[in-house]
Amino acid sequence: MNILVTGCAGFVGFHTCLQIFKKYKTANIIGIDILNDYYDVNLKKNRLKILIKNKNFFFFKKDISDKNISKIFQKHKIDYVIHLAAQAGVRYSLKNPYAYSKSNLDGFLNIIELSKKFNIKNFLYASSSSVYGANKKIPFSEKHNVDHPLSLYGATKRANELIAHAYSYMFNFKTTGLRFFTVYGPWGRPDMAMYIFLDAIFKNKKIDLFNFGKMSRDFTYIDDVSIFISEIFTNINYSKKKFNFPNNSKAPFQIFNIGNNNPCNLFDLIKKIEKKTKRKFKINLSEMQKGDVRSTYADIKNIYKKFKYKPKTSIDIGLNNFITWYCEYNKINL
C-alpha cells in the first residue's frame, strides 16, 4: 500500500505518518512538504528526521502546486492520498494573502486533479472549523450554513470543500473532508495559541488575549486526530445517499467535524497552564482581531454515527503532555 501524505513535516501530517506506520507495518508513505518558513523550519526538519528513520518513508521537498508531482504519482503508484498541506493561519492571511491562493487553491487543485487522474482510491483532505465563519449556531454542525467566512483562510478551506464536491460529482471520485478544531499537542505549531502561551509564560513575555479574553476554543488533542485518520482512510464507505451537508449531494463526498466537543474558555486555559507550570502570565487584553471568531465548538454526532469517533483525551491530560514535550524539546526544567 502506497500512501501520499502532503504536509508530512507539518504538525498533523507528521503525527498521521507516525500512526500509519504503527498500524500498517509494511505501508509505504510518500511524503511531500515544501518546508516553508511560515514558522520555525527547524521544528519541521526535526519532525522529518524522525520520519526518515523508517525505511518505508520517502520524502520529496516539493511545492504542492508543482505540476511535476505527477511523476511521483506515477513512479510510486499511489493508492491513497491524505492531503494535509496548506498555508495555515487566520491572522497571517491578512498580511500575505497570495500565499493562500498559491497553496490552498492552486495547490489543492493540483493534488486533487492528479489524484483523479491516477485513480486514487480515496482522497482525504484537511478542512477547518474556520469555514463556519459568521455562523452563530452552537455547536457547529455540518448541517449549518458555511457561506459567510470571516477570513481568507476560511474562504480557501471552504473553496477546497466545493472543489472536492465538484470532483466527486463529475468523476464519481471519492473525497472526504475533515474540519479540524484547534488541534494541539506535542510537536505542535508555534503560531497556535497553546504554543504561544507556553512560550510566553516560560520566557516571561506578555500574551495578548483578544476580545478581552472572552473567547473559547474546542481544543482537540493531536492523537485524537491522527489515530482516527490512520484508522479510517482506507475504509470509508460512500452509499451515494444524501449526506448531512449544506446542499445535500448524491456524489461520493463526505465532510465531518473532528473536534473535542468540549470547548475551553481562554481564562480557564490560562489558569490550567499557570497551575501546571507554577508560573504567572503577564496579560494584555485587546479587542477582537479581524478574521477571528469568539468561540468554536464541534458537533461530532455525524462522525460518531459513521465511525464511532469519540475523543479520548481531556484538556488536562493533553495539556500536561504538551507541556512535558515543550520542556523537553526546549530543554526547560519545570
Asked if 153 is an active-site residue, the reply is yes
CATH number for position 98: 3.40.50.720
pLDDT tens digits for 30-42? 999 999 999 999 9
Residue bearing the bigger pLDDT, 285 or 309: 309
Residue 149 lies in a domain: yes
- Confidence at residue 212, expressed as pLDDT on a 0 to 100 scale: 62
Residue bearing the bigger pLDDT, 60 or 295: 60
- Confidence at residue 234, expressed as pLDDT on a 0 to 100 scale: 87
Residue whose grid cell is 487543485: 109
> What is the count of structural domains for the chain?
1
d(Cα 209, Cα 267) in Å, to the nearest integer?
9
d(Cα 14, Cα 48) in Å, to the nearest integer?
8
Residue 331 lies in a domain: no
Closest by CA position to 64, among listed 131, 123, 5 = 5
Secondary structure in 3-state letters for 230-261? HHHCCCCCCCCCCCCCCCCCCCCEEEEEECCC
What would the mean pLDDT of 63-74 be, rounded to a whole number? 96
Whole-number mean pLDDT of the chain? 90
Closest by CA position to 107, among listed 9, 6, 10 = 6
Residue 118 lies in a domain: yes
- Confidence at residue 247, expressed as pLDDT on a 0 to 100 scale: 46
Instruction: Give me the residues paired with residue 207 across strands.
Output: 283
Residue 278 lies in a domain: no
Backbone angles phi, psi at 149, to 5 degrees: -65, 150
Task: Assign 301 a pLDDT band (cuts: 50, 70, 90).
Answer: very high
Residue 176 lies in a domain: yes
Task: Assign 241 a pLDDT band (cuts: 50, 70, 90).
Answer: low
Task: Assign 275 a pLDDT band (cuts: 50, 70, 90).
Answer: very high
Is residue 215 scored above 90 in pLDDT? no
Is residue 68 scored above 80 in pLDDT? yes
Residue 233 lies in a domain: yes
Closest by CA position to 283, among listed 226, 219, 333, 209 = 209
**Percentage of the residues of the chain whose pLDDT score is greater than 90:** 69
Domain limits at 18? 2-185+220-261+296-313
Is residue 325 scored above 70 in pLDDT? yes
Is residue 92 scored above 60 in pLDDT? yes
Please identify which of the residues 153, 167, 195, 309 carries the catalytic annotation. 153
Residue 35 lies in a domain: yes
Residue 125 lies in a domain: yes
Residue whose grid cell is 486526530: 225
- Confidence at residue 74, expressed as pLDDT on a 0 to 100 scale: 94
